[in-house]
Amino acid sequence: MGLTYQSTGQLTTREMFDAKSDNCDYIIALAGNPNTGKSTVFNALTGLRQHTGNWPGKTVQRAEGNYIYKSHRYRLIDLPGTYSLLSNSADEEVARDFICFARPDATIVVLDATCLERNLNLALQVMEITNKVVVCVNLIDEARRKKIQVDAAKLSERLGVPVVSTAARSNEGLPRLIELVSDVASKRVCPKPQPVSYSKDLEEAIARLEPRVRDVIGKDINPRWLTLRLLDGDTRLLQAIENHLNAGRTAPVVHGRRRDYSNGA
Protein backbone atom coordinates (compact mmCIF):
# COMPACT_ATOMS: atom_id res chain seq x y z
CA MET A 1 0.00 0.00 0.00
CA GLY A 2 1.30 3.36 -0.97
CA LEU A 3 0.24 5.18 2.11
CA THR A 4 2.98 6.43 4.36
CA TYR A 5 2.74 6.19 8.09
CA GLN A 6 2.42 9.93 8.31
CA SER A 7 -0.47 10.07 5.93
CA THR A 8 -2.66 7.99 8.16
CA GLY A 9 -2.46 11.08 10.29
CA GLN A 10 -3.78 9.47 13.41
CA LEU A 11 -2.55 9.11 16.90
CA THR A 12 -0.51 5.97 17.28
CA THR A 13 -1.46 3.52 19.94
CA ARG A 14 1.54 4.49 21.94
CA GLU A 15 0.70 8.13 21.88
CA MET A 16 -2.82 7.40 22.90
CA PHE A 17 -1.52 5.29 25.70
CA ASP A 18 0.67 7.95 27.14
CA ALA A 19 -2.10 7.66 29.65
CA LYS A 20 0.36 6.32 32.23
CA SER A 21 -1.10 2.86 32.23
CA ASP A 22 1.31 1.88 34.98
CA ASN A 23 -0.77 2.79 37.99
CA CYS A 24 -4.11 1.28 37.12
CA ASP A 25 -5.44 -2.24 36.91
CA TYR A 26 -7.95 -1.93 34.10
CA ILE A 27 -8.44 0.35 31.16
CA ILE A 28 -12.02 1.07 30.18
CA ALA A 29 -13.11 2.90 27.04
CA LEU A 30 -16.28 4.96 26.94
CA ALA A 31 -17.92 5.15 23.52
CA GLY A 32 -21.24 6.56 22.38
CA ASN A 33 -23.09 8.82 19.98
CA PRO A 34 -22.91 12.56 20.59
CA ASN A 35 -25.68 13.88 22.85
CA THR A 36 -26.26 10.63 24.72
CA GLY A 37 -25.15 12.00 28.06
CA LYS A 38 -21.80 10.27 27.67
CA SER A 39 -19.98 13.11 29.42
CA THR A 40 -22.46 12.89 32.28
CA VAL A 41 -21.66 9.19 32.67
CA PHE A 42 -17.97 10.02 32.50
CA ASN A 43 -18.23 12.76 35.10
CA ALA A 44 -20.43 10.68 37.36
CA LEU A 45 -17.98 7.76 37.33
CA THR A 46 -14.75 9.70 37.66
CA GLY A 47 -15.87 12.73 39.64
CA LEU A 48 -13.12 15.30 39.67
CA ARG A 49 -10.35 12.75 39.26
CA GLN A 50 -9.92 13.44 35.57
CA HIS A 51 -7.56 15.00 33.08
CA THR A 52 -9.08 17.02 30.32
CA GLY A 53 -7.15 19.07 27.82
CA ASN A 54 -7.57 22.79 27.50
CA TRP A 55 -11.25 22.35 26.90
CA PRO A 56 -13.87 20.14 28.47
CA GLY A 57 -13.64 17.91 25.41
CA LYS A 58 -17.22 17.49 24.39
CA THR A 59 -16.19 15.94 21.13
CA VAL A 60 -12.69 16.87 20.21
CA GLN A 61 -10.35 16.04 22.96
CA ARG A 62 -9.31 13.11 24.95
CA ALA A 63 -10.44 13.05 28.53
CA GLU A 64 -9.55 10.41 31.05
CA GLY A 65 -10.27 9.81 34.67
CA ASN A 66 -9.97 7.18 37.35
CA TYR A 67 -12.23 5.40 39.72
CA ILE A 68 -11.71 2.65 42.25
CA TYR A 69 -14.02 -0.32 42.68
CA LYS A 70 -13.36 -3.13 45.14
CA SER A 71 -9.74 -1.99 45.52
CA HIS A 72 -9.03 -2.14 41.79
CA ARG A 73 -8.11 0.99 39.90
CA TYR A 74 -9.99 1.65 36.68
CA ARG A 75 -8.90 4.21 34.13
CA LEU A 76 -11.78 5.47 32.05
CA ILE A 77 -10.96 6.90 28.62
CA ASP A 78 -13.67 9.08 27.11
CA LEU A 79 -13.67 8.48 23.35
CA PRO A 80 -15.00 11.12 20.95
CA GLY A 81 -18.75 10.94 20.43
CA THR A 82 -19.48 9.42 17.01
CA TYR A 83 -22.43 7.99 15.11
CA SER A 84 -20.37 5.36 13.38
CA LEU A 85 -16.84 4.00 13.12
CA LEU A 86 -16.81 3.64 9.34
CA SER A 87 -16.46 7.13 7.92
CA ASN A 88 -12.81 7.87 8.64
CA SER A 89 -13.37 11.22 10.25
CA ALA A 90 -10.72 12.13 12.81
CA ASP A 91 -13.10 11.46 15.70
CA GLU A 92 -14.16 8.11 14.35
CA GLU A 93 -10.60 7.02 13.72
CA VAL A 94 -9.53 7.91 17.23
CA ALA A 95 -12.42 5.94 18.71
CA ARG A 96 -11.99 2.98 16.38
CA ASP A 97 -8.20 2.79 16.72
CA PHE A 98 -8.40 2.95 20.47
CA ILE A 99 -10.86 0.09 20.70
CA CYS A 100 -9.04 -1.92 18.07
CA PHE A 101 -5.38 -1.35 18.99
CA ALA A 102 -5.25 -0.27 22.61
CA ARG A 103 -7.62 -3.13 23.42
CA PRO A 104 -9.28 -1.77 26.55
CA ASP A 105 -10.29 -4.33 29.17
CA ALA A 106 -13.87 -3.31 28.60
CA THR A 107 -15.70 -0.80 26.41
CA ILE A 108 -18.82 0.90 27.67
CA VAL A 109 -21.13 1.94 24.85
CA VAL A 110 -23.55 4.62 26.00
CA LEU A 111 -26.88 4.62 24.15
CA ASP A 112 -29.68 7.14 24.25
CA ALA A 113 -32.80 5.30 25.37
CA THR A 114 -34.99 7.76 23.48
CA CYS A 115 -33.25 7.06 20.20
CA LEU A 116 -32.16 3.45 20.50
CA GLU A 117 -32.26 2.40 16.88
CA ARG A 118 -29.75 5.01 15.73
CA ASN A 119 -27.53 4.38 18.71
CA LEU A 120 -27.49 0.62 18.24
CA ASN A 121 -25.71 1.21 14.94
CA LEU A 122 -22.60 2.25 16.87
CA ALA A 123 -22.98 -0.46 19.51
CA LEU A 124 -23.13 -3.17 16.82
CA GLN A 125 -20.02 -1.75 15.16
CA VAL A 126 -18.10 -1.71 18.44
CA MET A 127 -19.21 -5.28 19.13
CA GLU A 128 -17.74 -6.34 15.81
CA ILE A 129 -14.31 -5.16 16.97
CA THR A 130 -14.35 -6.38 20.56
CA ASN A 131 -16.49 -8.71 22.62
CA LYS A 132 -15.65 -6.96 25.88
CA VAL A 133 -18.59 -4.61 25.72
CA VAL A 134 -21.03 -3.35 28.32
CA VAL A 135 -24.03 -1.49 26.92
CA CYS A 136 -25.34 1.39 29.00
CA VAL A 137 -28.84 2.51 27.98
CA ASN A 138 -28.72 6.03 29.35
CA LEU A 139 -31.32 8.77 29.67
CA ILE A 140 -34.02 6.36 30.77
CA ASP A 141 -35.45 9.22 32.82
CA GLU A 142 -35.96 11.15 29.57
CA ALA A 143 -37.39 8.04 27.98
CA ARG A 144 -39.87 7.60 30.83
CA ARG A 145 -41.02 11.17 30.37
CA LYS A 146 -41.50 10.48 26.68
CA LYS A 147 -43.32 7.25 27.53
CA ILE A 148 -40.71 5.07 25.88
CA GLN A 149 -39.89 1.72 27.48
CA VAL A 150 -36.69 -0.18 26.79
CA ASP A 151 -36.51 -3.84 27.83
CA ALA A 152 -32.90 -4.11 29.00
CA ALA A 153 -33.01 -7.86 29.65
CA LYS A 154 -34.29 -8.57 26.16
CA LEU A 155 -31.73 -6.19 24.68
CA SER A 156 -28.95 -8.00 26.53
CA GLU A 157 -30.20 -11.31 25.19
CA ARG A 158 -30.41 -10.03 21.63
CA LEU A 159 -26.99 -8.37 21.69
CA GLY A 160 -25.19 -11.02 23.69
CA VAL A 161 -23.52 -8.50 26.00
CA PRO A 162 -24.43 -7.14 29.45
CA VAL A 163 -26.89 -4.24 29.36
CA VAL A 164 -27.78 -1.79 32.11
CA SER A 165 -30.31 1.05 32.09
CA THR A 166 -29.06 4.27 33.63
CA ALA A 167 -30.01 7.84 34.30
CA ALA A 168 -26.53 9.20 34.84
CA ARG A 169 -27.72 12.62 35.94
CA SER A 170 -29.39 11.14 38.99
CA ASN A 171 -26.85 8.34 39.43
CA GLU A 172 -29.50 5.73 38.71
CA GLY A 173 -28.05 2.43 37.51
CA LEU A 174 -24.42 3.52 37.74
CA PRO A 175 -23.48 1.15 40.60
CA ARG A 176 -24.72 -1.70 38.43
CA LEU A 177 -22.74 -0.37 35.46
CA ILE A 178 -19.56 -0.35 37.53
CA GLU A 179 -20.27 -3.92 38.62
CA LEU A 180 -20.83 -5.14 35.05
CA VAL A 181 -17.69 -3.39 33.84
CA SER A 182 -15.72 -5.07 36.58
CA ASP A 183 -17.17 -8.47 35.60
CA VAL A 184 -16.15 -8.01 31.96
CA ALA A 185 -12.75 -6.42 32.67
CA SER A 186 -11.77 -9.18 35.10
CA LYS A 187 -13.03 -11.83 32.65
CA ARG A 188 -15.52 -13.20 35.16
CA VAL A 189 -18.04 -12.61 32.40
CA CYS A 190 -17.17 -13.17 28.77
CA PRO A 191 -19.74 -11.53 26.49
CA LYS A 192 -20.55 -13.29 23.22
CA PRO A 193 -21.91 -10.65 20.87
CA GLN A 194 -24.43 -11.83 18.31
CA PRO A 195 -22.87 -11.18 14.92
CA VAL A 196 -24.71 -8.92 12.49
CA SER A 197 -25.98 -11.01 9.62
CA TYR A 198 -25.34 -9.45 6.26
CA SER A 199 -26.73 -10.04 2.78
CA LYS A 200 -26.16 -13.43 1.18
CA ASP A 201 -23.47 -12.21 -1.25
CA LEU A 202 -21.55 -10.54 1.52
CA GLU A 203 -21.79 -13.49 3.89
CA GLU A 204 -20.45 -15.75 1.15
CA ALA A 205 -17.52 -13.43 0.54
CA ILE A 206 -16.83 -13.33 4.29
CA ALA A 207 -16.90 -17.13 4.46
CA ARG A 208 -14.31 -17.34 1.69
CA LEU A 209 -11.91 -14.74 3.03
CA GLU A 210 -12.15 -15.10 6.80
CA PRO A 211 -10.12 -18.35 7.13
CA ARG A 212 -7.26 -16.73 5.21
CA VAL A 213 -7.37 -13.69 7.48
CA ARG A 214 -7.27 -15.97 10.52
CA ASP A 215 -4.12 -17.64 9.16
CA VAL A 216 -2.27 -14.40 8.58
CA ILE A 217 -3.34 -12.26 11.51
CA GLY A 218 -4.03 -14.71 14.28
CA LYS A 219 -6.26 -13.57 17.07
CA ASP A 220 -4.74 -10.14 17.53
CA ILE A 221 -7.61 -8.48 15.69
CA ASN A 222 -11.14 -9.80 15.32
CA PRO A 223 -10.93 -11.72 12.00
CA ARG A 224 -14.53 -11.24 10.93
CA TRP A 225 -14.27 -7.52 11.46
CA LEU A 226 -10.98 -7.33 9.56
CA THR A 227 -12.47 -9.40 6.75
CA LEU A 228 -15.28 -6.89 6.42
CA ARG A 229 -12.81 -4.01 6.29
CA LEU A 230 -10.81 -5.80 3.60
CA LEU A 231 -13.93 -6.37 1.53
CA ASP A 232 -14.84 -2.74 2.09
CA GLY A 233 -11.38 -1.74 0.86
CA ASP A 234 -10.84 0.75 3.70
CA THR A 235 -7.17 1.48 2.92
CA ARG A 236 -6.63 4.03 5.65
CA LEU A 237 -7.66 1.59 8.30
CA LEU A 238 -5.73 -1.27 6.74
CA GLN A 239 -2.61 0.88 6.75
CA ALA A 240 -3.14 1.63 10.43
CA ILE A 241 -3.54 -2.08 11.14
CA GLU A 242 -0.34 -2.87 9.27
CA ASN A 243 1.52 -0.27 11.31
CA HIS A 244 0.08 -1.72 14.45
CA LEU A 245 1.04 -5.28 13.60
CA ASN A 246 4.61 -4.31 12.80
CA ALA A 247 5.01 -1.86 15.65
CA GLY A 248 3.94 -4.67 17.95
CA ARG A 249 6.87 -6.78 16.79
CA THR A 250 9.66 -4.29 17.13
CA ALA A 251 8.58 -2.42 20.21
CA PRO A 252 6.01 -3.00 22.88
CA VAL A 253 2.98 -1.07 21.74
CA VAL A 254 1.85 -0.34 25.21
CA HIS A 255 4.00 0.08 28.24
CA GLY A 256 3.89 -1.47 31.65
CA ARG A 257 1.26 -3.98 32.44
CA ARG A 258 0.37 -4.41 28.79
CA ARG A 259 3.79 -5.67 27.88
CA ASP A 260 3.66 -8.42 30.51
CA TYR A 261 0.28 -9.36 29.24
CA SER A 262 1.45 -9.89 25.68
CA ASN A 263 4.54 -11.78 26.80
CA GLY A 264 2.37 -14.68 27.70
CA ALA A 265 0.55 -13.95 30.91
Q: How far apart are CA 88 and CA 236, in angstroms?
A: 8
In this complex, which beta carbon is closest to other proteins, that of residue 233 or of residue 264? 233
In this complex, which beta carbon is closest to other proteins, that of residue 55 or of residue 261? 55
In this complex, which beta carbon is closest to other proteins, that of residue 189 or of residue 245? 245
Distances, alpha carbon 104 to alpha carbons 65, 137, 162, 206, in Å? 14, 20, 16, 26
Bridge-based pairing of strands 72-78 and 26-32 is parallel
221 contacts: CB under 8 Å, gap ≥ 6: 100, 241
- Neighbour tally for 222: CB within 10 Å: 18
| Residue 105 Cβ vs other proteins, minimum distance, rounded to whole Å | 25
| Residue 253 Cβ vs other proteins, minimum distance, rounded to whole Å | 13
| Residue 20 Cβ vs other proteins, minimum distance, rounded to whole Å | 20
In this complex, which beta carbon is closest to other proteins, that of residue 142 or of residue 172? 142
247 contacts: CB under 8 Å, gap ≥ 6: 12, 13, 14, 253
| Residue 260 Cβ vs other proteins, minimum distance, rounded to whole Å | 20
